[in-house]
Amino acid sequence: MKKLTHTDNTGRANMVDVGAKPDQIREATAKGFIRLAPETVRLIRENEMKKGDVLTVAEIAGIQGGKKTSELIPLCHPLAITRMDVKALLTDDGVEITAYAKCTGKTGIEMEALTAASIALLTIYDMCKAVDKKMELTNVYLVNKTKTDL
C-alpha cells in the first residue's frame, strides 16, 4: 500500500525539510467563482446586503485567510508573505475571485493563493446565505505559479 504522507524514519508524518533549498521569489495566482441568483447579484451591486459590502469584506477575508494557510493546512510551511492581493469581480451570474500571493522563500506560495480564493468565496457564501439558497462555489484552481532565482 502506498504511503499517503511524507514520513520520517519513525513512520510519523512530518513537514518536508526545505532547509537546503535556495531562497527564491515565488508567486502564485488562483481563481474561483461563486454562482449567484440574479437577485443576489443585484443586492450586492446596490450594496443592500444586510451584512454589508460583500465584495470588500470577501477581499479582506481572503487576504486574512491566505495569511493563515499554515495554520489551516496540516504540514504546510509558514511563509513570510510579502504581498497578498484578492480581487472580487461581480458578474451577471456571480462573483469571480482572483487571489495573488508572493513571498521570498524556499517553498511555494500556491497554497496561500488557493486558500485566499477559497476563503473569499466562503465569505460571500456566508454573507449571502440568507437570501440565496442555491449558491454554487465552482472552479477553484491554480492559474499559475512561478519561482525566480534571487
85 noted as active-site residue: no
Cβ count near 144 (within 10 Å): 11
Q: Which DSSP symbol is given to 22?
A: P
Burial of 30 (C-beta count, 10 Å sphere; 0-12/13-18/19+): buried
Share of the chain residues as helix, strand and coil, in percent rounded to the nearest 5: 30, 35, 35
Please tell me which residue in 23, 53, 126, 149 is annotated as part of the active site: 126
In DSSP notation, 61-101 reads HHHHHHHTHHHHSTTPPP--EEEEEEEEEEETTEEEEEEEE
| Residues designated as active site | 126
